[in-house]
Amino acid sequence: MHSKAFAPEYQGALTALSVNSSLTDVLEEGTRHLRAAEARGEQREVARSGLAVAEAHRRLGHVEEADRAWKASYRAARSAGDLGAMAWALWSGGTLARQRGALALAFRLLGLAADLGKRGGDVVARGYSLAGLAETGRIQGDYQAVAALHEQLLAEARQRGEARHTVWALEGIAQIHRNTGSYDTAFAMFEEAAEIAGRADDRRGRAWALRGMADIVSLRDDPDRALALLGEAELTCREMNLSSALAYNHKMRANVLYRARRYEEARQVYAQALAEFRAMSEPRGEALARLGLAKARARLGRDHDETAAELGELRRTLDRIGLRHAREMVDKAHAELGVLPLATAGDDEGGRR
């Protein structure tokens, strides 16, 4: 039995905030409490309030503000000697690093956060940090390395009845199954995640699960149902100001339209998603939206050489970020569109395996 979802990143004076609180409300409340704690010189409360501020900024796509806020939270936690609060600040910084495409930094910060969480006896901070490491590896495409960690975290979350973490783990494992072609298993896990999130009133988790379900439904050639699922998820994203989730929702909507051969509509929605990702400096989403846009434009008659040049540039970008699965998607796009890769000077295929 799972309890109602809660938001452990909202701490100190902010524990009354819900997992479904609007991010603008979180930012307003967090900033108010942060200023008051600073005025009183209460470093532990500065750290805890600052964490909520950092997370609100991150999820709203305010990259620079989020970066300043998690570092300030960490400094306050360190000066108070609070290992748990230090772990949470590093978790926020590591999550932001992953969002920005700095995967090596994300691994380092999340590893430090997991260690501090363990040393400080904060089992939830440790769990969230290990989850962050697992998600970073999954995004990178290193499924073999992180599948077992996802399963371990799912078992721990189920045992504790922690709904939000159960939903996260189910969605992560479902995504691995989806990316490796096990669509039925993936759909069942996304569906279970959506049900648990619904019962636990975790609207954010449910929105991500609906997006995953829409992806599989679309691959099964039912675009209308997929678009309806995405429409339901989009309402939540807008009500809660989930900028990143909304951009990924739009990218998936474009994917659905593209698979349905509605190329002009797909082109428009990919362009919308691309602008949203650029506004929040999210390079992974930006690269994926660019790939979709390149494919849609190719279907609408774009010159082969221009398409090949863009795909080549995207492949190098994805290599630099370290996204293996996405790089494979570029290779598939060449084959799907019948566009041969352009030979580029100094292309070294042998040295970076």
Gyration radius of the chain over CA positions: 21
State the pTM of this model. Answer: 0.85
pLDDT at 242 over 90: no
Q: Where are the alpha helices (DSSP H) in 141-162?
A: 143-160
pLDDT at 351 over 70: no
Q: How far is CA 184 from CA 140, 192, 210, in A?
A: 23, 12, 15
303-342 confidence digits (pLDDT tens): 999 999 999 999 999 888 888 888 888 999 999 999 888 7
88-105 confidence digits (pLDDT tens): 999 999 999 998 889 999
* CA-based nearest residue to 53, from 36, 42, 67, 39: 67
The chain-wide mean pLDDT, for the chain, equals 91
Cα separation, 196 vs 213, in Å, equals 14
Residue 280 Cα to chain centre, angstroms: 13
245-292 confidence digits (pLDDT tens): 999 999 999 999 999 999 999 999 999 999 999 998 888 899 999 999
Tokens of 285: 């989403």
pLDDT band with cut points at 50, 70 and 90 for residue 139: confident
pLDDT band with cut points at 50, 70 and 90 for residue 346: very low
pLDDT band with cut points at 50, 70 and 90 for residue 69: very high
Q: How far is CA 341 from CA 289, 295, 313, 314, 337, in A?
A: 20, 14, 10, 12, 11
- Nearest 5°: the CA angle 280, 294, 95 is 30
pLDDT at 352 over 60: no
Number of H helices and number of E strands within the chain? 16, 0
Identify the pLDDT of residue 319. 87
Range in 154-158, 191-195, 349-353 with the lowest mean pLDDT: 349-353
Q: What is the DSSP string of 309-351?
A: HHHHHHHHHHHHHT-HHHHHHHHHHHHHHT-PPPP-TT--SSS
pLDDT band with cut points at 50, 70 and 90 for residue 2: low
